[in-house]
Chain A
Amino acid sequence: MKEAGVKTWLPSLLRLALAVLLVAFVTNPGWFEPLLKPLTENNAPVIYNQGSLLTLTLLHLRTVLIATVAATIVAVALAILVTRPAGVEFLPLSRSLVNIGQTFPPVAVLALAVPAVGFGEKPTLIALFLYGLLPIFENALTGLTTLPANVVEAARGAGMTGWQRLTKVELPLSAPIILGGIRLSVVISLATATIGSTVAAKTLGEVIIAGLLSNNLAFVLQGGLIVAALAVLIYDGLSAIERYTARRMGREAQ
C-alpha cells in the first residue's frame, strides 16, 4: 500500500518542484550561474544579458495566449458552423482544407507573412494562429459529431431550440475533447513561438538564437529549458482541467 501512495503523490511533487525551479530561474537567474558556467567559453556571459528572462517569458506566454484564444474562437465557430444543417455542405471540404493546412511548415508561414505585415510579433501571431487552428478544429469536429445520439434526441424531445441544444447540451458535452485540442495546440505553439524570433518577435527564441549566433551553449540551454518546462507544466495543467470536465460530463477525454 505504501508504494501506491508514493506513486500518486510523486508526480505532483515533481511538478511542484519544476514550477518552483522555473519561477526561481526566470526571476533570479543569477542563482543558477554556477550550474551553467561550464557551458561557456572565454568568459562569455552565462545568463542572457540583452533583456530580462522574466519579461521574455511573459511576452512568450502572451503571444501564445493571444494566438490560442483567437484560434480557439475561430476553430470552434467553424466546427459549429459545419455541423449545423445550414453548413453541412462545407463539412467534407473543411476536412480536406484542414489536412492541407497541416502540411504548411511554420517557418514558411512565418517568412511569407513578413511582407504582408512586417517584422515583429504579427507574423508570429499569424503563424501560431494558423497552426493552432488545426488541432482545435479537428477535435471540436470529433466532439460535435460523436455526441451520444440519445442525449441529442432527448434534448430535442424536451423542446429545446437549436441554440439551446448547442449551448446547453452539445458544447458542454464536447468540452473535454475540445480542451484536448487546445492543449495540443498550446504545446505546439509554445515551441513554434521560438521560431518567431528569426523575424524579430520578442520571445524566448531570442535567447536561443543569441546563443546559436555567439556559440554560447548556456544561452541555448536556458532558453530551451524554460520553454520545455512551460510546455510540460501547461500540458499537465490543461490535462487536469480536461479530466475534471470529462468527469463532470461523464465522457472520457481523448
Chain B
Amino acid sequence: MTIRFDKLGVVIAAIVAYAAFAAPFATFRANRIVPGEARSILESLPTAVGPSLLEIVVIAAIIALLKTPLILRLVASVVALAALAILIGVAGDFLTPEGNTFARISPASGFWLLIFAFTLLLADVLTRLNLSPWARVGVLVVAALAIGLLLVSGSWNSLSILKEYANRADSFWAEGSKHVTLALGSLAAAAVVGLPLGILCHRVDKLRAGVLNVLNIIQTIPSIALFGLLIAPLGWVATHVPGAASLGIRGIGTAPAFVALFLYSLLPVVANTVVGLAGVPRAANDAARGMGMTDRQRLFGVEFPLAFPVILTGIRIVLVQNIGLATIAALIGGGGFGVFVFQGVGQTAMDLVLLGAVPTVALAFAAAIILDAVIEMTSTRRREVQTA
C-alpha cells in the first residue's frame, strides 16, 4: 500500500508544524498596553494538558496530510478546533498570576494560525460535502451555540478581550444594537426605496442610465467623506424643520451615518432589481400577457418571483457591506462597534480593537452564510418551477 498525500493537507500540516512548535501560543503582558512576552504551548498550559494539546494537533494534522475519508477529516478538524478553543481559556487561567488583575493574557500568532489551519480543513470538508442550504445554516447555528456556551460558561473570562468586555459590558450591547440597527435599518430603507426605483428603471428606458450613473458616482465617494458631508445638511434640517430634531435627526451622530449607508445601499438594490427583471424570460411574460394578466398581476405574479434570487443577491451584498461600513459611523459619533475599534487604535490597545472587530466580522460572516442559503433555496425553487 502506498501512502498518498492530500495537497491541501500538505499546506495545513506545514502551517500546523510551524504554529505548534515555532510560534507563540499566548502572549503575557503585565498590563494592557505594555509589549507582551511570548509563551509556547508547553509554557502556557499545565504540565498535564500541554502535551495532550500537542498530540491532538499533530494527529489532526497527520489526518489532514494523508488521503483520509471525509468523515475522519471532519472529526479531526472539529476536535482540534474544540480543544484549541477550550484550552486557550485554560492557558488564560494558568498564566494569570494569583490575584493579579492587571496582567493580560491574549491568544498569540501560533494560536491564530492553528485556528486558521483547522478552519481551512473544516471549510474544505464542508465544501466537499456539498451541504444543502439548511445544513449550512445548521452548522452555523451549532458553531454559534458552541461559542456562546464557552462565553457564558466563563471559561474565556481570563482572556484579555473579555477583560475589555467586562469593563464595558453595558456600552458593548448598546453599541452592538446601534450597529445592527444602522446596518439593518438602512438596508430596509434602501429596499423600500430601491425596489420601486428598480422597477421604474426597468420599465422606463430613459430613466435607467441616468439613475444608475448617479448611484455609481455616489459609490465612488469615500465613506468617511460621505459621512462628513451629510453632517451639514442634516444639521440644517434639524434646526430649520420643525419636529425633525425630536425625531432624532441631528447633524452628527446616527442620522448622517444612516443616510450615508442608505445611499451606498441603493446601487446594489436598484441595479440587481433591473438585472433580475431584465432576465425574466420573454416567454414567461408573453404567456402571462396571453392569459390576460394585468400589468400589476404580471409584475407581482410573474416578473417579481422570477427576479427574486437576483434581487436577494443585491440585498446580500448590501447587508455584508453595511455591517462593515457601519464601523466607520463611529468616526462621526454614530456609535456601533467601530467605537471600540477606533478607541483601541487611539490607545494602541489591541484587545479593545478586537472587541469591536470580532463581533463585526462574526455578524458579517453569519449574514453572508444565511443569505447565501436563502438565495440558493429560492433559486432552486425557481428552477423547479421552470422545469415543471
Q: Which of A90, A104, A235 has the most CB of B within 10 A?
A: A104
Is there an interface contact between A93 and B350, defined as CB atoms closer than 8 Å? no
When C-beta atoms are compared, the residue in chain B nearest to A107 turns out to be: B327
Cα-based distance from A97 to B225 in the complex (angstroms):
31
Q: Mark B114-149, 1 if CB is under 8 A from A, else 0.
A: 000000100110111000000000000000000000
How many residues of chain B are within 8 Å of chain A by beta carbon? 49
Alpha-carbon gap, A194 to B357, bound state (A): 19
Instruction: Tell me, rounded to whole Å, the shortest Cβ–Cβ distance linking B297 to chain A.
Output: 34
Q: Is the CB of B365 within 8 A of A100?
A: yes
One of B7, B341, B372 near A90 (C-beta < 8 A): B7
Q: Given the complex of chains A and B, what is the CA–CA distance between A96 and B128 in angstroms?
A: 11
Contact of A111 among B217, B332, B357 (CB under 8 A): B357
> Contact at B222–A205, with CB atoms within 8 Å?
yes
Q: Is A221 a contact of B123 with CB atoms below 8 Å?
A: no
Q: Known: A103-B361, A217-B231. Is A195-B127 also a contact (CB below 8 A)?
A: no
Residue of A nearest to B128 (CB): A92
Of listed B228, B231, B331, B361, residue having the most chain A CB within 10 A: B228
B75 within 8 A of A: no
| Known contacts A96-B127, A199-B345: A103-B365 contact under CB 8 Å | yes
Counting CB contacts under 8 A, is A99 at the interface?
A: yes
How many A-B residue pairs have C-beta atoms within 8 angstroms? Tell me: 144
Is B313 an interface residue when CB atoms closer than 8 A count as contact?
no
Given contacts A111-B344, A212-B228, contact A103 B124 (CB under 8 A): no
Identify the stretch in B76-84, B194-202, B317-325 within 8 Å (CB) of chain A at 4 or more residues: B317-325
Residue in A closest to B367 when the chains form the complex, CB atoms: A103
Q: How far is the CB of B369 from chain A (nearest CB, A)?
A: 9
Measured between beta carbons, the chain B residues less than 8 angstroms from A231 are: 220
- Given A105-B360, A108-B361: A227 and B222 within 8 A (CB)? yes
Interface check A220, CB cutoff 8 A = yes
Bound Cα distance A63, B328 (Å):
21
A198 to B342, Cβ gap below 8 A? yes
Contact of B127 among A92, A102, A103, A115 (CB under 8 A): A92
Residue from B127, B229, B324 in contact with A224 in the complex, judged by beta carbons closer than 8 Å: B229
Given the interface pairs A99-B368, A107-B338, A111-B357, the reply to whether A224 lies near B226 with Cβ below 8 Å is: yes
Give the dominant DSSP class at A's interface.
helix
B residues within 8 A CB of A198? Answer: 331, 342, 345
Do A194 and B222 touch (CB < 8 A)? Answer: yes
Cα-based distance from A108 to B128 in the complex (angstroms): 29
B232 touches A217 (CB 8 A): yes
Chain A contacts for B348, CB-based, 8 A: 114
Q: Does B353 contact A (CB under 8 A)?
A: yes
Closest A-chain residue to B232, C-beta based? A217
Asked if residues B232 and A195 are in contact (CB atoms below 8 Å), the reply is no
A107 touching B320, Cβ below 8 Å: no
Residue of B nearest to A108 (CB): B357
A187 touches B231 (CB 8 A): no
Measured in the bound complex, the distance between the Cα atoms of B223 and A231 in whole Å is: 13
Decide if B231 touches A191 in the complex (CB within 8 Å).
no
The B176-214 residues at the A interface (CB cut-off 8 A) are none
In the complex, B59 has a CB within 8 A of chain A: no
Q: In this complex, what residue of A is CB-closest to B363? A: A103
Residues of A whose CB lies within 8 Å of any CB of B are: 39, 87, 89-90, 92-93, 95-97, 99-100, 102-108, 111-112, 114-115, 187, 190-192, 194-195, 198-199, 204-205, 208-209, 211-212, 217, 220-221, 223-225, 227-228, 231-232, 235
- Nearest first, the 7 closest Cβ-Cβ pairs linking A and B are A224-B225, A105-B324, A231-B220, A220-B228, A108-B357, A194-B222, A103-B364
* 22 A–B pairs (Cβ distance < 8 Å), ordered by A: A92-B127, A93-B124, A97-B120, A104-B364, A105-B325, A105-B327, A106-B324, A107-B360, A108-B361, A112-B354, A114-B348, A114-B353, A191-B221, A194-B223, A195-B223, A212-B331, A212-B332, A217-B232, A223-B222, A223-B225, A228-B221, A232-B217
